Amino acid sequence: MDIQDGMEVATFAGGCFWCTEAIFLELDGVKSVVSGYTGGARANPTYEQVSSGATGHAEATQITFDPTKVSFGELLEVFFATHDPTTLNRQGNDVGTQYRSEIFYHSDAQKKTAEDYIAQLTASKTFSDPIVTKVSPAAVFYAAEDYHQNYYNQNKGQSYCHYVITPKVDKVRTKFKDKLKKE
């Protein structure tokens, strides 16, 4: 991935990548969001292979962002507000290690920010159950097949998008309206 000067990268796994991609595309300062696979052992995995749970990869999004407009900490805030970080290997009806909650850090600063934020959420008892989100070094990221990219915006009428993703996007638009891209 070719990162322009001043841009940073964040990689999050929080269940179905269609959901997380749609959410982060809403934020000002986010240049791009790529759906893909990371954290597993197989090179160049396919959606079918990852979906089987046998590759060890998580469905994830890789976010290129301008830290002068949106910080890594703000991305974490949105990440934790839009998925359940207390369920191990599950988000809603999506079950398996490929749907785990994990932050793949790209620097020591990202690692510290993520660990500190999780500690803050834990201390404030934001969630009634313990947070199971892992914090791991960034691994090779494989972009998912083209039909997965920008999936929500191209398939809003599909029932999964309507019932699962739209409420998450609406939540971001309400809770984080000061962080949204200007039309």
Terminus-to-terminus CA distance in the chain, angstroms? 27
10, 16, 23, 144: the active-site residue: 16
- Which residues pair with residue 59 across a beta bridge? 37
Provide the residue count of the chain. 183
Q: Three-state SS for 4?
A: coil
**How far apart are alpha carbons 51 and 167 in whole angstroms?**
24
Query: Is 19 an active-site residue?
Result: no
For residue 26, give the nearest of 80, 68, 63 by alpha carbon: 63
**Secondary structure in 3-state letters for 86-135:** CCCCEECCEECHHHCEEEEECCHHHHHHHHHHHHHHHHCCCCCCCCCCEE
- Residues contacting 70, CB < 8 A, separation 6+: 27, 28, 29, 30, 179
User: Which residues are the active-site residues?
Assistant: 16
